[in-house]
Amino acid sequence: MSPSTSEFMDMEKGEIDKISLMPRPYQQSLPLWQVIDSPRSIEWAAENDIQGMFWMPTVKELKGRFELYRERASKSRGYEVPLGQGIALVRDVYVAETMEQARQDAAEAVLNNYRWICHWRGLSNLMDPGEKVKEGQELNYEFLHPRNLLFGTPDYVAEKIQELKEELNLETLLLWVNHNGLPHEKMMKSLKLFTEEVMPRFTETKLGVM
């Protein structure tokens, strides 16, 4: 911060007390989103009325995290918050005419992203509750696909989204479509299939593209 000022900073501790947005937003009440993952981050977001975003975990693992957010949000706000309210889930998406075509087109591209992330974070965030990472476990398509990828035919992708709605009461789904190294024309073809053959089945779900 330049220059340091006591208006925003505890000068003795050297800690920032508050921040300001410049230019100021038009909205008087600005809805904020935070990427959450650990129990501490989930609890803090829920208790401070911050909307949360998840990405990597499996559906089974997300159940506990969604419930923790709901529990803390309900206690903080004084009323019962519905499961899934205030939470968005990011999922990697690629839609093709066949399951094998989806794999051929985009498996290596999405794995490039996960190899970079998991090089630092490991594979633990991709495990079901109580499941341990096996010694020598490789990060490959066979391991990743059933855990959290929406890769496949329109019917398969729609089925997995329906599972998210039924298991988590998911209201907001963010689609990660620009996978590392994926040619633009393939990304656009996948998006076309999604918007024409998958999206119409979920008119009440909020969908965003990343």
Question: Would you say the C-alpha torsion 65, 66, 67, 71 has a positive or negative sign?
Answer: positive
Q: CA-CA distances (angstroms) from residue 78 to 30, 34, 65, 81, 199?
A: 21, 22, 20, 9, 35
Residue span of the structural domain in which 162 resides: 32-209
Determine the pLDDT at residue 209: 56
- Residue 88 in tokens: 């968005």
Q: Does a structural domain hold residue 122?
A: yes
Look at residues 65, 73, 60, 58 and name the one whose alpha carbon lies nearest to residue 35. 65
For the segment 114-154, what is each residue's pLDDT rounded down to a tens digit?
Answer: 999 998 889 999 999 999 999 999 999 999 999 999 999 99
Identify whether the C-beta of residue 149 lies closer than 8 Å to the C-beta of residue 110: yes
User: Which CATH number fits the domain that encloses residue 196?
Assistant: 3.20.20.30
Q: Does a structural domain hold residue 65?
A: yes
Q: Does a structural domain hold residue 12?
A: no
- Residue 163 in tokens: 């599972």
Mean pLDDT of the residues in the chain:
92
Q: Span 58-63, mean pLDDT?
A: 97
pTM for the predicted model, two decimal places: 0.83
Distance CA 192, CA 95 (A): 9
Q: Into how many domains does the chain fold?
A: 1
